[in-house]
């Protein structure tokens, strides 16, 4: 089954506004990660939050994790045109064996200057 479904699928905001993206997943996790993909480029890791953490900050990024609801959110504050990209959450499962890190469909963010 697919893990990591992002919501909304697309988001358009003005520069300076905040952008919030949500991610829901289905099974237990060890950690959840957020990635950014600029058009035509590879994915870049943004932030990792472990299952025993509830909130994490990195610069203008704020990630929350609610394991009881199996959901996470990524907040980008004071957005810039350069933040225009697709954002993906990825789940790293809680398992003693090796399992796949799975991604969702992503949220396409457009920041209008």
Partner 1 sequence: EAGVTQFPSHSVIEKGQTVTLRCDPISGHDNLYWYRRVMGKEIKFLLHFVKESKQDESGMPNNRFLAERTGGTYSTLKVQPAELEDSGVYFCASKASRPGELFFGEGSRLTVL
Residues that bind partner 1 (CB under 8 A): 2, 30-31, 33, 35, 41-45, 48, 50, 88, 90, 92, 98-106
With respect to partner 1, which residue has the nearer C-beta, 20 or 30? Answer: 30
- Return the number of other C-beta atoms located less than 10 Å from residue 78's C-beta: 11
With respect to partner 1, which residue has the nearer C-beta, 13 or 43? Answer: 43
With respect to partner 1, which residue has the nearer C-beta, 49 or 111? Answer: 49
Place of tokens 């699928």: 9
What are the Cα distances from residue 23, in Å, to 12, 63, 66? Answer: 18, 11, 10
Least distance to partner 1, CB of residue 31, Å: 5
With respect to partner 1, which residue has the nearer C-beta, 44 or 82? Answer: 44
Least distance to partner 1, CB of residue 84, Å: 15
Least distance to partner 1, CB of residue 10, Å: 10
CA-based nearest residue to 31, from 58, 61, 4 = 4
Least distance to partner 1, CB of residue 16, Å: 27
The answer to whether 18 touches 8, Cβ cutoff 8 Å, is no
Instruction: State the sign of the Cα–Cα–Cα–Cα dihedral 13, 42, 60, 91.
Output: positive
């Amino acid at each position: 089954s697919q893990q990591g479904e992002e919501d909304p699928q697309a988001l358009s905001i003005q520069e300076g506004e905040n952008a919030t993206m949500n991610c829901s997943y289905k099974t237990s996790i060890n950690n959840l990660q957020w990635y950014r993909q600029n058009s035509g480029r590879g994915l870049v890791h943004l932030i990792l939050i472990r299952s025993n953490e509830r909130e994490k900050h990195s610069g203008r990024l704020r990630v929350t994790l609610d394991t009881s609801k199996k959901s996470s959110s990524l907040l980008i504050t004071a957005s810039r045109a350069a933040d225009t990209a697709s954002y993906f959450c990825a789940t790293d499962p809680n398992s003693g064996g090796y399992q796949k890190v799975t991604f969702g469909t992503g949220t396409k963010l457009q920041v209008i200057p």
